[in-house]
């Protein structure tokens, strides 16, 4: 049976049982796939990036609103643990947004890394790149960037 054709919560349950993933939440981020995503490196194969509240195009981040980011990817290597980090890149420098444990990764198997952050005042009135990375400590599996605009 191909578990990827089942509902998202069943897919996550199957992946957790098979790969020992730590699941952070009950389902996928509410929102569509982000368009215009840039691949900035990593050994893994990116599949899709979703942000809660996104309806395509540039993602709008509203002040004090919480956002969930889901990154689907296929790792190139097996790892006992990994971290999913979200960082805003702007003219003022880099701003760490989130850092979450993803659990174990198994090479060749679809994984979903999930992180969340709250949009702060530093983002209001700015268009930034949000970088989403998955690092194992030994190497980077995933690096994706997308454009986001902060509003008050």
> Tokens 């444990």 map to which residue?
101
> Residue 58: its pLDDT value, please?
83
The CA–CA distances, whole Å, from 89 to 19, 73, 138 equal 32, 22, 24
pTM of the model: 0.79
Predicted confidence (pLDDT) per residue in 60-83, tens digit: 999 999 999 999 999 999 999 999
Residues 6+ apart with CB under 8 A from 97: 86, 87, 88, 115, 117, 130
> Residue 9: its pLDDT value, please?
37
Range of the domain at 86: 3-151
Counted domains in the chain: 1
CATH number at residue 114: 2.60.40.770
More confident residue, 56 or 88: 88
Say if residues 36 and 147 touch (Cβ distance below 8 Å).
Answer: yes
Predicted confidence (pLDDT) per residue in 89-107, tens digit: 999 899 999 999 999 999 9
Residues 6+ apart with CB under 8 A from 35: 56, 57
């Amino acid at each position: 049976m191909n578990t990827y054709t089942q509902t998202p919560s069943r897919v996550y349950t199957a992946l957790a049982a098979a790969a020992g993933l730590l699941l952070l939440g009950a389902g996928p981020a509410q929102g569509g796939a982000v368009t215009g995503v840039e691949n900035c490196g990593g050994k893994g194969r990116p599949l899709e990036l979703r942000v809660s509240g996104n309806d395509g195009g540039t993602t709008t981040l509203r002040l004090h609103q919480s956002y969930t980011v889901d990154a689907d990817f296929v790792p190139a290597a097996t790892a006992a643990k990994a971290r999913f980090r979200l960082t805003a890149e702007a003219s003022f420098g880099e701003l760490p947004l989130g850092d979450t444990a993803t659990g174990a990764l198994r090479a060749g198997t679809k994984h979903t890394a999930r992180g969340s952050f709250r949009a702060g005042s530093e983002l209001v009135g700015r268009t930034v790149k949000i970088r989403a990375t998955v690092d194992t400590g030994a190497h980077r599996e995933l690096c994706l960037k997308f454009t986001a605009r902060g509003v008050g």
